[in-house]
Amino acid sequence: MKKILTAIALFAAGSMIFAYNPPVSGEDLGRLADPIALTSAASASGGALTQVVPASILYNPALPYLVQRTTVDLSYTGMIDSNNKNTTNVKYGQAFQMGTIIPTKLFVYTGMLQGSFVYFPEMNTGSSIVIHGGASKDITDKLYVGANLYTGFYFASGSDFTIGVDLGMLYDLGKLSFLKDCRLGISLLNLGKPLTGNYKCIGLNGAEGEGFAISYPGICTPRVSFGATLFDVKKFKGGFSADLSFPFFQNAVFDCGLGFTFADIVNLSCSWQANLRELIKGAQFNMPSVGVGVKFSFTSAKISAANEDWAKSDMTTTAAWQQVYGGVQVISAGAVMSLGQQDTSAPEIILWFGDEGEEE
C-alpha cells in the first residue's frame, strides 16, 4: 500500500512539474502595483533603504515589524503597450494597491488589497483582486518573524481563486566589515492553493491552459535576501539589496536594488529583475526601474490635542517608471502616510527609596 501511495505522489508531482506554465509576470505581479515595490522594496530584507510599506508583506511578512508607526498608503499604476508587435486593440493595463500597517503592543498588523487588469499579448495575466492580512512580532532584539493569510480572485476567460499563507523571518546582522545595518531575510511564500480550475490565460509555453497548466503563483516559493547600507556620510546615504527566489522550485528569479537618500527627504531608487524561465522562453529583457520619492512633514493641532505623540507625521510621495517585455511602459505613483513619531527611546524607570522625594 505504501508503494502505491508513493507512486501516486511521485506521479502527481511529476505531472505538476511538467504542466507548470505561469504567465509572463505572473510570478511577481504584485510588484507592478506599487511604485516603491517596483523600484526598491520588492525584497525580503526591506530593500536598499529599508523602505517597508504594506506591499512588503508580499516578500517577507516579518518586515512590517520594523514600522512602529500607523501607516496607510495608496498607489496606482498605468501600463501602456508601445510595442508595435501588439496588433490587438488592448493597449492599456492598470493596477492599484491600498494598505495599512497598525502597530500594537504585541503584534504589528498589516492589511493590503491589490487589483490588476492586464491583457497584453506580452503579459496576459487577466484580472485579479488579492487580499493579504498578516501579523509580525519580535522574538529577540535582532530576530523578527511574521505570517500572512491571503486569498485572490481571478477572472477573465473563466474564473478561479487562490488561498494560502506566507511565512518569513528577518535577522539584524548589524555591521559586517564596511557594511552597516546588514539584514538577512528568509521567507516561504505561496503555501496554499494556486489557480487549479476554470481559469485561462496565456502562459510561458505560449498556449492557453487551465488548472496546473497556468498555475500561479507557484506553490511554495522560497526566498532569501541580503540588504545593507553602503555608506552614510553627513546627510547622504546609500544602500543595496539582493534577492534570490525559486518559484515552485521550477524557476530562479534574481532581484537587486540600489537606493540613495538625501537628508531623509529625497529618495532615488532603482532595481532590476531577471526571471530565468521567462528569459529561456524568449520573453524580452526588462529595463531597470527608476523611482523618485519626496517626504513632507506636517503637524496637526487637532490630532496633537488628543495625543501629543501624534503631533508630527509625514507623507512620502513616489513616482516610478520601468519598461518591461520589450515595450510595456509601467508608470506608477503613490503616497505613503506615516502618523505620529517613531518611538526610538527606551522607557525610563526611576525608583525611589527612603523618604519621599529622595531619589536613588
Beta carbons of 340 and 312 less than 8 angstroms apart: yes
Amino acid, single-letter form, for residue 56: S
Q: Above 50 in pLDDT, residue 210?
A: no
Start-end of H helices in 160-287: 276-280
Q: How far apart are CA 140 and CA 65, in angstroms?
A: 12
- Residue 355 or residue 284, greater confidence: 284
User: Closest Cα to residue 20, out of 177, 213, 189?
Assistant: 213
Q: What is the pLDDT of residue 346?
A: 47
| Contact in structure between 130 and 155 (CB atoms under 8 Å) | no
Look at 14-18, 38-42, 320-324 and tell me which has the smallest mean pLDDT: 14-18
Asked if the model's pLDDT at residue 1 lies above 90, the reply is: no
Segment 291-316 shows an average pLDDT of 73
Provide mean pLDDT across the span 66-82: 94
Helix or strand run (H / E) with residue 81 = strand 70-81
DSSP strand pairing (124-138 vs 179-193):
unpaired
Q: Helix %, strand %, coil % for the chain, to 5?
A: 20, 50, 30
Residues whose CB falls within 8 Å of the CB of residue 339, separated by 6 or more in sequence, listed in order: 69, 70, 71, 72, 303, 310, 313
Better pLDDT: 132 or 302:
132
pLDDT digit string (tens) for 306-351? 555 556 788 999 999 999 998 999 999 999 998 876 654 444 555 5
Residue 282's SS3 state is coil
